Amino acid sequence: MPNLSWPQLFLNLILPPRCFGCGEATSEHHVLCPPCWKACTFLSPPWCALCGWPFPYESLGQALCPSCHRLPPLFTQCRSALAYHDEARRFILKFKQGDGTYLAPGLSRLMVRAGQDILSQTDLLVPVPLHWKRLFLRQYNQATLLSHYITHQTCIPTRTDLLKRHRSTRKQGHQNRKERSANVRGAFIIPLGKAPVLKGKRLTLIDDVFTTGATLSECARILLNAGAKEVRALTLARVIMPQKLASSLY
């Protein structure tokens, strides 16, 4: 058990720490219990040097997946903490659609754990923005919440004013990468007067789920065109499909 201050011990007596996945008792706040941890699929090398697609075998050097060979994304690198499988999907959907904002501290810790190499090369965090209509309906942007908690842990500033989604887009659940790219093309802009802040900066986009990478790539295009030096991406989860199906999505 970690060494706790008296205020922390007192708080634990009033509000005992619970697993953010299932609610079982844990030794500290904002962590998963052993069964929930075991039920999740954490992504780790070997993986695509660009998009982080997990390889089923060891690779040599900076190996790329077939999708990145065919159509490289515009971001320099992406990492994701979890595969978007049953256990992770359950609490991510609760966080994203069920007003489970209390999950953000624990989920962001998983992202920091997965993104050490990216965060070490980051000047600013930029959460992927929602259109104002969707933000009004949801009342919060899950990417912004995650980004602010990552800031608390790393001291890398979050900037929510550097990228704006000025056009509402169709839901992308059943679209392939080509359709998604067309859907988000031109959906983002740099707000007036913000381009100078981006000049020469190494940015990391923050989002909840990576599906095809079309949204992240479009955001990267806009930021790079505005003068950013590099754009990377860090997401909570990644949709992992059989390679044959994935290739069709890309």
CATH of residue 217: 3.40.50.2020
Q: Which of 225, 210, 229 is nearest to 51 (CA)?
A: 210
Look at 205 and 243; give whichever has higher pLDDT: 205
**Mean pLDDT for the chain?**
87
* Residues 172, 187 within the same domain: yes
Helices vs. strands in the chain: H and E counts, helices first: 12, 6
* Residues 108, 148 within the same domain: yes
**In the prediction, which pLDDT does 161 show?**
97
CA distance 197 to 50: 26
**In the prediction, which pLDDT does 127 show?**
98
Domain count, the chain: 2
* Residues 120, 206 within the same domain: yes
**Helix or strand or coil: residue 83?**
strand
Angle between helices 104-114 and 86-97 in degrees, nearest 10: 130
Q: Is the pLDDT at 173 greater than 70, yes or no?
A: no
* Residues 51, 116 within the same domain: yes
Tell me how crowded residue 106 is: count the other CB atoms within 10 A of its CB: 19
Q: Is the pLDDT at 84 greater than 60, yes or no?
A: yes
Task: Give 40-61 pLDDT, tens digit per residue.
Answer: 999 999 999 999 999 888 877 7
Look at 76 and 15; give whichever has higher pLDDT: 76
* Residues 64, 29 within the same domain: no
Query: 235, 204 in Cβ contact below 8 A?
Result: no
* Residues 26, 108 within the same domain: no
Q: What is the mean pLDDT of residues 211-218?
A: 91
Q: Which of 161, 163, 162, 159 is nearest to 150 (CA)?
A: 159
**In the prediction, which pLDDT does 245 show?**
42
Q: Is the pLDDT at 135 greater than 60, yes or no?
A: yes
Q: Which residues contact 188 (CB under 8 A, 6 or more apart)?
A: 129, 163, 164, 165, 166, 218, 219, 222
* Residues 126, 17 within the same domain: no
Q: What is the pTM of this model?
A: 0.87
**In the prediction, which pLDDT does 82 show?**
95
Band (pLDDT 50/70/90 cuts) for residue 87 is confident
Q: Is the pLDDT at 5 greater than 70, yes or no?
A: no
Band (pLDDT 50/70/90 cuts) for residue 114 is very high
**In the prediction, which pLDDT does 52 show?**
92
The alpha helices in 185-236, defined as continuous H runs, are 195-198, 214-225
Percent above pLDDT 70 for the chain: 85
Structural domain span for residue 57:
40-249
* Residues 4, 52 within the same domain: no
* Residues 226, 171 within the same domain: yes
